[in-house]
Amino acid sequence: MSDAQGVVHGTTASEARKAPDSMFQLDNAVPISGKQAPPCTVVIFGAAGDLTARKLIPALYNLARERLLPGAFAVIGFARRDYDDAGYAKHLESELRGHAPGGFDESVWAWLASRIHYVSGNFDDTEAYGRLSNKLRDVDTAHGTRGNVLYYLATSPEFFSICARQLAANGLAQEESGKWRRVIIEKPFGRDLRTARELDKQLHSVLAESQIYRIDHYLGKETVQNIMVFRFSNGIFEPIWNRRYIDHVQITVAETLGVEKRGGYYDKSGALRDMVPNHIFQLISLVAMEPPVSFQADAVRDEQAKVLRAIQPMTPEDVLSRSVRGQYAAGQIGERLLADYRSEPNVSPESATETFVAMKLGIDNWRWTDVPFYLRVGKALAARSTEIAIQFKRPPFVLFRNTAVDKLSPNTLVLRIQPDEGISLKFGAKVPGATLRLGSVDMDFDYSEHFGAQPATGYERLLYDGMLGDQTLFQRADMLEASWAVVNPVLDVWSALPPRNFPNYHAGTSGPRDADLLLERDGRAWRPIK
Ligand code: BG6
């Protein structure tokens, strides 16, 4: 019986979860943008966790609001906690109400809630997979999802391969008779090169590469997707996007939050593993890649992998001179007082874990030789700001020698990823007046001013692409391997030489002094974090 006839899965339907009339409007409505995803069930492992409530369900809700989900659609949450279908939907509703990006629309939620189901069980318990299998069959009959399933492993990383193996062993990962089965794997993908390879081997023993979707939520951000569009849809930038014109590139990912409630995970991970081989390397690859031959998934990912492989591996000496680590001490950010990192819950009082990383990387290829890529990422910094600054070479000073101008400022193109999304280009202009004086001015484009604010979590596009089977915005194993290969020597040196000066920066500042020195030694300076 099809969903469009208003049938809700029999064992769990309650008044509250009955499909409302408005679902017919949603189902028959024309998508606002793009085509509708094919019939499918999304199964979320770790369904009682934060990521599900704060990102995944709001993203599905936004997709429903944009009419991008098909009528033949369902969600099954799978986690240890006990819920029945209605109770689980209620739990999600209470999280979404008040937080729904763009406001809470009752009819959209009612449409989605009537498709939400739940199975409780442990991720390594074979019987639980038997229950999941039954639920999938029932849900498929009730909602007409045609046996297509998108699994989302929003679990802690030790369960990634366990879940994949259990799915396969219970016949839930098999693609047959035109049905597809795909698995989205959350980060972190391994703790280093060896464990990332091991995880990949385990996944490949039960899944084909075409079924594996390694997610990096940075690729779900509009401004990150726009890097490629900006570079390749504008004729004026590509010819100067190289060592001849670019002096250096600065990538900053500054957060004001401390480690919050994630001490248990973070103290074992640290800023390097948490942010660099994934989010930051995605940004580097998009800024530095060669133009792909098409926007097909593998054409794009081939170029990203190539440039990641061209990042020069650091020798132990390089690690000492070209990388900086930091840990925050108590400080004030705006009105907020932050305690020492070491006194956060679930963090060791002697922790040697870094909450800040800065690095100077080189890309060994024709386009980028001798152009340093400086990156810095940290928690508890002065402001929240993720940006990529492309600093161009200064023009020759010769013309200005006998004027009042003492130096020329370089042109800087800044891609503001978040929170103040936009692009600006800094250039020099004559200050009006009788003498020749130069000022720096910005040509600025602001996303929300121009396109209006888009209520989004960043997971919409990734979930939607997973349903459509488009892997372009997901990481391939070779990209991750290349990233870990760069980070691994740093991890090795850092673990062999524990830091002696932690904590070495105060919350609310721009990070440790050594990070400034990294650029000062090259006659350069970081852009202020503000
Ligand atoms: C996550 C990291 O992957 O990204 C977090 O584990 C970090 O530590 C977060 O805070 C940053 O994401 P965003 O989208 O807020 O920049």
For residue 224, report the distance from its CA to the centre of ligand 1, in Å: 14
| Closest residue to atom 5 of ligand 1, CA basis | 274
CA-nearest residue for atom 4, ligand 1, is: 275
At residue 103, the pLDDT reads 80
Atom of ligand 1 nearest to the CA of 259: 8
* pLDDT score at 31: 59
Nearest CA to ligand 1 atom 2: 274
Residue of 50, 191, 255, 265 best suited for mutating to test ligand 1, as the one with most atoms within 8 Å of CB: 255
Question: Measuring from atom 15 of ligand 1, which residue has the nearest CA?
Answer: 255
Which ligand 1 atom lies nearest to the CA of residue 262? 8
Question: What is the SS3 assignment for 28?
Answer: helix
User: Looking at the annotation, which residues are catalytic?
Assistant: 279
Which ligand 1 atom lies nearest to the CA of residue 266?
8
Atom of ligand 1 nearest to the CA of 187: 3
**In angstroms, rounded to a whole number, what is the distance separating the alpha carbons of residues 195 and 177?**
34
Half-sphere exposure of 22 (CA within 13 A, CB side): 14
**Nearest CA among 135, 141, 128, 94 for reference residue 113:** 94
**DSSP letters spanning 280-327:** IHHHHHHHHPPPPSSSSHHHHHHHHHHHHHTBPPPPHHHHHHHEEEE-
Residue 280 Cα to ligand 1 middle (Å):
11
255 Cβ below 6 A of ligand 1: yes
Residue 394: count of CB within 10 angstroms of its CB? 13
Evaluate whether 430 touches 438 at the Cβ level (below 8 Å). yes
* CA 332 to mean position of chain CA atoms: 27
CA nearest neighbour of 291 among 218, 249, 220, 242:
242
186 Cβ closer than 6 Å to some ligand 1 atom: no
Closest-CA residue, ligand 1 atom 14, reads 218
Give the residue, by CA position, lying nearest to ligand 1 atom 8: 274
Residue 472 CA, distance from chain mean position: 14
pLDDT tens sequence across 266-292: 999 999 999 999 999 999 999 999 999
Residue 240 burial (C-beta neighbours within 10 Å; 0-12, 13-18, 19+): middle
Regions in the chain scoring below 50 on pLDDT: 1-24
Residues 230/447, Cβ–Cβ less than 8 Å: no
Q: Is 70 helix (H, G, I), strand (E, B) or coil?
A: coil
Ligand 1 geometric centre to CA of 485 (Å): 22
Which residue has the CA at smallest separation from atom 6 of ligand 1?
Answer: 274
Q: What angle do CA 121, 126, 128 make, to 5 degrees?
A: 25
Alpha-carbon distance of 211 to 474, in angstroms, equals: 11
What pairing do the DSSP bridges indicate for beta strands 181-185 and 212-214? Answer: parallel
> Which of 216, 224, 279 to mutate for ligand 1's pocket (most ligand atoms within 8 Å of CB)?
279
CA-nearest of 265, 270, 253 to 328 is 270
Residue 78, C-beta contacts closer than 8 angstroms, at least 6 positions apart? 43, 44, 45, 46, 47, 118, 119, 120, 121, 128, 132
How close is the Cα of 215 to the center of ligand 1, in Å? 13
Query: Ligand 1 mean position to 169 CA, how many Å?
Result: 33
For residue 212 the two structure tokens come to 């594996």
- Protein residue with least CA distance to atom 9, ligand 1: 275
Q: Are strands 328-329 and 212-214 parallel, antiparallel or unpaired?
A: unpaired
The residue type of 435 is: T
The predicted-structure confidence for 193-210, as pLDDT tens digits, reads as follows 999 999 999 999 999 999
**Is the entire prediction scored with pTM above 0.95?**
no
**What's the gap in Å between 267 CA and the centre of ligand 1?**
15
pLDDT value of residue 1:
34
Q: Is the CB of 274 under 6 A from ligand 1?
A: yes
pLDDT confidence of residue 9: 35
> Cβ(328)–Cβ(503) under 8 Å?
yes
Q: How far is the CA of 486 from the centre of ligand 1 (A)?
A: 20
Q: Where are any strands of DSSP class E within 186-317?
A: 212-214, 246-254
Out of 54, 261, 274, mutate this one to test ligand 1's pocket (max ligand atoms within 8 Å of CB): namely 274
CA 458–ligand 1 middle distance (angstroms): 12
- Give DSSP secondary structure letters for 454-502: ----S-HHHHHHHHHT--TTSB-HHHHHHHHHHHHHHHHHHHHS--SS-
- For residue 116, report the phi and psi dihedrals to the nearest 5 degrees: -100, 130
**pLDDT, position 29:** 56
265 Cα nearest atom in ligand 1: 6
Tokens representing 37 are 């995803």
